[in-house]
Amino acid sequence: MARYRGPKLRITRRLGELSGLTQKNSEKINRPGQHGGNTKKSTTEYGLRLEEKQKLKFNYGLTESQLFRYMKEARRRDGVTGLVLLQLLEMRLDTICFNLGFASTIANARQIVNHGHIMVNGRLVNIPSFQCRINDIITVKVKNISENLIKNNLKNNTLLQVPSHLKLDTTKLEAIVLNYCERNEILLKLNELLVIEYYSRR
């Protein structure tokens, strides 16, 4: 299945706030679809798990196969599977650029990385899914177009602050990955246990 490129507010009306997908808010309250206004309709247990999985998928801009690969990797690693899964997603280069305020959404951050504006440890990286590691240094390419783009995005940044596992120097446009993220600093409102349960049969 290809990456979703349809109306984003339709997704947020169904799943709730997804800061990685869009910063906009819909004026409509009801869920999308013919029966969106039916509040009496109950959601099944499978439906609840599916919605939590969809939150991850749409917020981080992943395909189904990509998310399943991250799930398998999280299972292989030591620690709590749900937290490890979120940490893997938060260590993607496009997600880190979003958390630093280099882009307004993760989709925008993916485009910035694709277009060659970001460097990791002095080397140009144009792969959004690149897995950063602790002590990696992320810088903006020394070029007027790149620097002006990131500076404008930092000015318009609506996020409250940079997470504690990242350290940003706005004068040098340079950041360092200090550690893995803490669960309480992840912006996405999610019950990751339901995601684990969704994939438990696969």
Higher pLDDT: 36 or 104? It is 104
**Tens digits of per-residue pLDDT, 163-185?**
899 999 989 999 999 999 988 88
Residue 1 in this model has a pLDDT that exceeds 50: no
Parallel/antiparallel/unpaired status of strands 123-124 and 137-140: unpaired
Percent of residues, the chain, with pLDDT higher than 70: 86
Which residue, chain included where needed, has tokens 């596992």?
165
Q: What's the rounded Cα separation, in Å, for the pair 116 and 119?
A: 8
Measure the CA angle with vertex 79, ends 76 and 80; round to 5°: 100
To the nearest 10°, report the CA torsion of 109, 64, 66, 75: 120
Would you say 102 and 149 are in contact if contact means Cβ atoms under 8 Å apart?
no
Q: Identify the three-state secondary structure at position 106.
A: helix
**Tens digits of per-residue pLDDT, 73-98?**
999 999 899 999 999 999 999 999 99
Domains recognised in the chain with CATH numbers: 8-88+187-199 (1.10.1050.10), 92-179 (3.10.290.10)
State the pTM of this model: 0.85
DSSP assignments along 180-200, one per residue:
PPPGGG--S---HHHHHHHHT
Q: Identify the three-state secondary structure at position 102.
A: coil
Under DSSP, the state recorded for 163 is -
pLDDT reported for residue 86: 93
